[in-house]
């Protein structure tokens, strides 16, 4: 395969990853890692490149969501304390080869299957009218615009969400995915934040989480310009398109897209982990 064809395939895949990552809050890493693995790239380099892609996804879509008033920045900044700590720990474990890559791939797949099932099972979104005492003290409740006017929402289970974010950060560093799936689940299912707010706030957060992990991979030499350039450009383009679509999309359809994509990727990664092909 020529260098030009190789770069073109990666660029097109990155565009798709950015679009999907922006729409679902996953960050695009769940597409980039399998794509680079299929192209014969070492898993460590795939993770390092995916972390850079996640930063690009966050940069490309988060600004639009913040401008539209959907992202809850107070929640994002609060939960980033947990995810950043976790990301550094997770990245160190993999980059230092303390955790075997096949185990990482299997964990990746199992987490994503859990995410897919959870997304499909949740039928109707219940928006809280009141917040817990901890959320009120931290002023985490908010509102977002919709076609029917401004929708106000409450927030609950702050402690549970914080510890879920710590786990999400560790998985981000381990897997190079920004761990958007876990972030969305933590906010949507645990803290009872509306799905659109969870998705957009996840996009806002994943860039910071990924940057913490990417620093470790950069030190270990697993991030190269040749791979990162086409990936970052493609992901940025896809993320900007996705941010326009999300604001006008149906939440229930997004859940189905979210579930189908991550379930397919999960099966693939578990197979590769068991077969030792990572």
Supply the pLDDT for residue 27. 60
Supply the pLDDT for residue 180. 67
Could you tell me the mean pLDDT of each successive run of 10 residues in the chain, 278 residues long? 84 85 67 80 83 75 75 87 85 75 76 70 67 84 79 88 85 68 78 83 79 80 86 84 73 69 76 75
Supply the pLDDT for residue 92. 81
Supply the pLDDT for residue 26. 62
Supply the pLDDT for residue 129. 75
Nearest-10 Cα torsion for 229, 272, 87, 100: -120
Residue 133, C-beta contacts closer than 8 angstroms, at least 6 positions apart: none
Adjacent-strand bridge partners of 145: 150
Enter the tokens of residue 59.
């940069």
Q: Are 86 and 165 in contact (CB under 8 A)?
A: yes
Q: What is the number of domains present in the chain? A: 1
Supply the pLDDT for residue 20. 76
Count of beta carbons in the 10 Å neighbourhood of residue 97? 10
- Domain coverage including residue 38: 3-275
Supply the pLDDT for residue 172. 72
- Report the C-alpha gap between 7 and 22 in whole angstroms: 22
């Amino acid at each position: 395969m020529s260098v030009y064809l190789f770069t073109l395939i990666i660029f097109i895949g990155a565009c798709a990853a950015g679009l999907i990552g922006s729409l679902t809050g996953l960050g695009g890493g769940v597409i980039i890692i399998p794509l680079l693995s299929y192209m014969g790239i070492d898993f460590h380099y795939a993770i390092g490149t995916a972390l850079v892609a996640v930063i690009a996804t966050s940069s490309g879509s988060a600004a639009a969501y913040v401008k539209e008033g959907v992202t809850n920045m107070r929640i994002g900044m609060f939960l980033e304390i947990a995810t950043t700590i976790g990301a550094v720990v997770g990245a160190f474990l993999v980059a230092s080869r303390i955790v075997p890559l096949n185990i990482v791939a299997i964990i990746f797949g199992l987490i994503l299957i859990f995410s897919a099932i959870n997304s499909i099972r949740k039928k109707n979104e219940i928006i809280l009218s009141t917040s817990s005492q901890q959320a009120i003290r931290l002023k985490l409740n908010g509102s977002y615009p919709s076609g029917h006017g401004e929708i106000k929402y409450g927030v609950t289970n702050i402690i549970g969400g914080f510890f879920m974010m710590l786990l999400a950060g560790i998985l981000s560093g381990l897997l190079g995915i920004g761990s958007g799936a876990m972030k969305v689940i933590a906010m949507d299912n645990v803290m009872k934040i509306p799905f659109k707010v969870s998705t957009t706030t996840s996009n806002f957060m994943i860039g910071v989480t990924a940057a913490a992990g990417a620093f470790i991979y950069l030190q270990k030499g697993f991030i190269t310009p040749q791979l990162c350039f086409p990936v970052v450009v493609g992901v940025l383009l896809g993320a900007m398109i996705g941010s326009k679509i999300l604001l006008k999309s149906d939440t229930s359809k997004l859940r189905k897209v979210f579930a189908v994509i991550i379930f397919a990727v999960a099966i693939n990664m578990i197979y590769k982990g068991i077969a030792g092909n990572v």
